[in-house]
Chains A and B, each alone.
Chain A
């Protein structure tokens, strides 16, 4: 492991050999500013558009319909005519989706800040869903505020514990968190399938529904109030503000606390951090647990906010392009910062809803368009990962600007 870099503008070779992922990410982020994620998104959309074009659809019209499907055209229809109210409904759905992605994005981002790749957001989110459902269904006698707090707290702690397993394994035995969180994902997925499944402990006890592998609805006292739209039609609940609160907590934790400082130091260079007196193992466990807490809370907010119940098939379907995985794209695109995660989650929230239920288009059908979302997501992650390319382009631009072209290509100084 090399020593921490003070210079931002270094050669790509040096950047590649600097060991830690967090160091590399922060390097490429600072090098490109906002331009890099924006360029990444544009490029990913261009390639996605090419795929659409190559298969005989008009990409511009398709993207316009997706934009409308996400309800973003609400800005142009603030009135309450029919089109405006459809747009408003779509926008609430987009924001519901974004709420989830803020939580799972923060889960990935926090671990990244400590130099770890939390690929297990999906499992931590499912654990949160399960615990929130159990508490929300079981303790029917409680009044609203304590019931909601109890459910959210329980799910948050469960998510933290689930991710904490990976943190403890990493700190004590050196087991790579990528492998352990992947395994924890699948364990969570199959366990939840069993819990909600026919004869499982959390399956519903409604008459005539004994073969339906779906849970009970959480009772009214545990449901989050809706502030935009109506409760019966999946309106936007106050979970959205809880997500905004989580963003603020994330920002404050990372930037304004000793904990955040230690986590970042370990992420940047564990050896240097240990030399400076920081307990690396403790921070690895702590960062993983906090990371899982965000995802678990996301599960609780979704369960209490609009899902109310969940089923085995929902769990199985989430295995492929689940919200935990989209959180990776959100965090990488958002450069692991609070503001970035917010913007990333609105983008992907819009893409997801705008290409599925929200899409009414005669250019491209939702079944096809939803896969374009997956392709764009993959491309975004692929390009962001190639930080050397970004650095190289950035550096050569700087060199061109600062040095006369006749000079020998020396290493650029900051």
Chain B
């Protein structure tokens, strides 16, 4: 088992995977989303235009991160407009549109995307150095529990954050030892890490809190920005500190990977470890650092889940419930690049936020709506993998000579 994808010759899917084709399809879908609601189709539920519109946005991001920027971002805008117009038409009234599309939608999108951004960037560190980290889910869970534990016992969210980060880093270190020194299969090892994390957090949750955290712990504060005007203040005026930190992380990660010598070395270890070794880079050391950093970063996302505005200081068994995997998907979706992963994480956050809003109209359909990020990722990996090139040496254990 090696990297995420292998290049397969297939003329039909090759043509389908051409970014230009995808971009045009995306634009078409954006327009289609708006037309779904008016005759002759006349969908009664706002869900359908929203689903088609989000598909358009997804394809747009994919196109944009693969060379055709103008077309791609155009499709993103088209998809968003399509969603808006579609809802407008099915509900035939601006009042309903405002009920869905208000400033809090932006606030919720950023809020729901935060753990995904941390996870996606974290995964990128490990994978760019050549180690597949499927244990993101488990390391995030560690952060979620030990964040609450630290904040409770230490009496401050800073201590919670630090202990949460340390716990994720520690689990990542164990994984790194098995993946790097013992050269275990990385997917089997990562799966083991996920099991271990559920067991460890569940055990201590039961032992320390008897399966019930009061929620009475110091939380990570929101950043209040006053004087922006009504709309901006409701959308970005009250974001969590970690949400802002995630924005900074995306920029820092981009600078690190592509503008510093250290980032170049890290990428070299993921592309051609033998060559990196030859020029004097300590491949093992770089990979260890990258994997541990990956665990630390994704654990911040976990701490956000429990100590952030959504968790409100509570922890529940298996709290992450797949968010680590969505983060992994966002990273692949974003072509192993910080900006792309950020856009994908925002899209997944946006679709979750919309699901919450649409609950008013149809609670059942909004449950079904929760499958959307997974369907999108499935559609994406089918096309993405062949076209994109994951780090060449990813998943292959490296033996020193």
Contact = CB atoms under 8 A, between A and B. Distances in A.
Nearest to B322: A186
B378 A321 contact: no
A22 to B, nearest CB: 9
Contacts of A373: 199
Contacts of A329: 195
B13 A172 contact: yes
Given A16-B399, A17-B399, A382-B189, A374 B377 contact: no
* Chain A at the B interface: SS class: helix
B193 interface: yes
B5 A388 contact: no
A169 B396 CA distance: 22
Contact of A377 (B1, B195, B206, B386): B195
Interface string B184-195: 110111011111
Interface stretch (A195-203, A214-222, A291-299): A195-203
B198 A321 contact: yes
A173 B188 contact: no
A238 interface: no
B134 A178 contact: yes
A173 B8 contact: yes
Interface stretch (B55-63, B292-300, B367-375): B367-375
B202 A374 contact: yes
B154 interface: no
A173 B10 contact: yes
Contact of A21 (B1, B325, B370): B1
Given A172-B8, A199-B364, A379 B325 contact: no
Contacts of B184: 382, 385-389
B285 interface: no
A12 B401 CA distance: 12
A356 B401 CA distance: 49
A182 interface: yes
A339 B345 CA distance: 44
Interface in B373-401: 374-375, 377-378, 381-383, 385-386, 396-397, 399
Contact of B188 (A17, A117, A179, A368): A117
Interface residues of A, number: 65
Nearest to B17: A173
Given A183-B375, A319-B318, A173 B199 contact: no
A117 B318 contact: no
Interface in B174-219: 178, 182-185, 187-189, 191-200, 202-203, 206-207, 211
B354 to A, nearest CB: 15
A64 interface: no
Contacts of A323: none
Contacts, number: 188
A179 B332 contact: yes
Nearest to B399: A13
A24 B199 contact: no
Interface in B347-368: 363-364, 367-368
Contacts of A347: none
Given A186-B374, A386-B178, A381 B382 contact: no
Contacts of B178: 382, 385-386
B183 A16 contact: yes
B21 interface: no
Given A21-B1, A174-B386, A320-B317, A119 B191 contact: yes
A234 interface: no
Given A51-B203, A115-B1, A174-B385, A386 B182 contact: yes
B188 to A, nearest CB: 4
A180 B381 contact: yes
A184 B375 CA distance: 8
B371 A190 contact: yes
B195 A12 contact: no
A314 interface: no
A384 interface: yes
Nearest to A176: B4
Nearest to A165: B378
Interface of B: 1-2, 4-8, 10, 13, 134, 178, 182-185, 187-189, 191-200, 202-203, 206-207, 211, 317-318, 321-322, 325, 328-329, 332, 363-364, 367-368, 370-371, 374-375, 377-378, 381-383, 385-386, 396-397, 399
Interface of A: 12-13, 16-17, 19-21, 24, 51, 55, 115, 117, 119, 165, 169, 172-176, 178-180, 182-184, 186-187, 190-191, 193-194, 197-200, 319-321, 325, 328-329, 332, 365, 367-368, 370-382, 384-389
5 contacts: A17-B397, A367-B206, A385-B184, A385-B192, A386-B178
